[in-house]
Structure 1
Amino acid sequence: MDNLFIALGLVLGLAIAALLWWFLNRKRRSTPAEPAEPLPPSLVELLAENVPYYATLPADRQAVFADRVSLFLAEVQVEGVDTDVDDIDRVLVASSAVIPMFAFDDWQYPNLTTVVLYESTFNEAYQTEGDDRRIMGQVGTGGALQSTMALSKSALRNGFMNKTSKENTGIHEFVHLLDKVDGEIDGAPDLLMPKEHLQPWLRLIHRTMQEMESHKSDINPYGLTNEAEFFAVVSEYFFKRPDLLKTKHPELFAQLEQIFRQNPLTDEKVVEETAEPSLNEEPDER
């Protein structure tokens, strides 16, 4: 009998903890962002020099972008593990977060508190030595790492400074985070798409993956891992080389334009629409 009471107590305690987490997470998502402190001029200069997305915005939109970078850096710690973290690293991490969600006002990534930078690639045990170091970025999915993102500092910088590539590790990982908001990292960002668009989007993913398997595509083959990695990979492509994506994969470009409410080929970036899905609503139960 004592064991029964203990078990019931544990279950009740876990239920209360889960309810408390849900309430706090819901509150954070539904509360408008506080006004950001102005981004220091030195960081604004780094934005202009290193983030092409920002550099092509008109002045009024640059101010909005800088404010969101400032807000992100006020709320999320950027720390290094056996490596120094410079202002350029903080600016690039924040820009990676702001770019995918620039069309949505007051967006904050739920439950992200820390971005950890490693000098270079790392392995599953977050070790930076050895031959099996292939990971450039990773989103925490549980336990102590639930609210943490890990990034290779060299990959982060290369994503912005190599302007001809189709890869950007920072954007890739933040796309995983926004994909995760509906409860599952699955390549189908439910809160960004009308429900009737989800199945056509998944069919397009699978059709494109078949083309990739036949070596008839220039999309990074890492996108063949699963639907979630495909979504992150083509999102990198969309923001990094939108000109090339629109030419080679016009249907993908059009779908991503709808998902992110953006056309990166335009100076304004944001595509105005009459109806906008709420990113502060709780996801439907599945």
Structure 2
Amino acid sequence: MFRWFESRARRRDRLRAQPFPEAWDAILRRHVPLYPRLSDGDRRELQGLVQIFLDEKHFEGCGGLTLTDAIRLTIAAQACVLLLHRETEIYARLITVLVYPSTYVAQAREPIGGGMVLKGEVARLGEAWKDGVVVLAWDDVLAGASDIHDGHNVVLHEFAHQLDQENGPADGAPILEHRSRYVSWARVLGSEYERLRKDAERGLPSVLDRYGATNPAEFFAVATECYFEKPGELRHSHPELFEELRAYYRFDPTQISGTG
């Protein structure tokens, strides 16, 4: 017996064409303040991306958390904001999103030199694993979504890592549209990373979170948070970095009401 399988492209087109449930719209208006501020066109695009994301990605509640539509939608919408205006595979490597009710404990390994590795338990708000898993703490997801101006958003941060890992280990250089773009990307983000690292060592203030000075991968994730949540400040204090991120994301958050 032959079975007919719907192609991925056709299935995605069908999902995009489906009406977005009113209950889902209400949830996003309540939990994701950025959502109602989008233009009608951007909001429709985001709705289509969310419908595909929820169809293709698996969610799992951990630590006793019972998953709800509010949890899935709040995470999916923020993750898909990073995909607006771009040709994308919609996080091709992502398989599962694990959600804890709050800060969770994970095993950590830290090289300390001489071939030695320090092992121990650390508290986490989120992680992006290279084998297709994102882990999030729901209370921090909700807090990050509710304040779109504080520069802290664990979903944007961890899904920026997912984008970074689409071409291999996270190194601060995601897949760019043209090979020629890597020269400018490396120059600007490398320079800005060193600037943040030196500012952090000297205790100097920055619109970018100091955690971005950890390594280039964390710098890209922190810069993404800042780009979407403090775009006006980033454009003013780091114009070249702002332009590199604008060229990559093809979405200018300063054009959203109340964010510039």
Distance in 2 of aligned mates of 1:178 and 1:32: 24
Structure 1 runs, 4 residues or longer, greater than 3 Å off: none
Q: CA deviation at 1:122?
A: 1.6
Report sequence identity in percent: 28
Distance in 2 of aligned mates of 1:51 and 1:165: 14
CA separation of 1:42/1:163 partners in 2, compared to 1, >3 Å: closer, same or farther? Answer: same
Aligned counterpart for 2:192 among listed residues 204, 218, 243: 204
TM-score (norm 2): 0.81
Distance in 2 of aligned mates of 1:149 and 1:245: 27
Aligned counterpart for 2:60 among listed residues 79, 83, 87: 79
Q: CA deviation at 1:216?
A: 2.1
- Between Structure 1 and Structure 2, whose CA radius of gyration is higher? 1
Aligned counterpart for 2:102 among listed residues 120, 126, 141: 120
The residue that corresponds to 1:174 in the other structure is 159
CA separation of 1:62/1:100 partners in 2, compared to 1, >3 Å: closer, same or farther? Answer: same
Alignment gaps of 5+ in structure 1: 1-26, 269-286
Alignment gaps of 5+ in structure 2: 1-6, 109-119
The 3-state SS of whatever aligns with 2:105 is coil
Alignment of 1:24-103 (within 5 A): 34-35=12-13, 36=15, 37-81=18-62, 82-103=64-85
Q: CA deviation at 1:44?
A: 1.1
Distance in 2 of aligned mates of 1:102 and 1:247: 23
Q: CA deviation at 1:97?
A: 1.7
Aligned residue-pair number = 232
Aligned counterpart for 2:252 among listed residues 263, 278, 282: 263
Q: Is the 8 A contact 2:211 2:218 kept in 1?
A: yes
Any idea what the Cα deviations from partners look like across 1:19-62, whole Å, max 9, x if unmatched? xxxxxxxx98xx57612133311111122233233212221221
Q: CA deviation at 1:77?
A: 1.7
Q: Is the 8 A contact 2:193 2:212 kept in 1?
A: no
Q: CA deviation at 1:123?
A: 2.1
Q: Is the 8 A contact 1:121 1:133 kept in 2?
A: no
TM-score (norm 1): 0.74
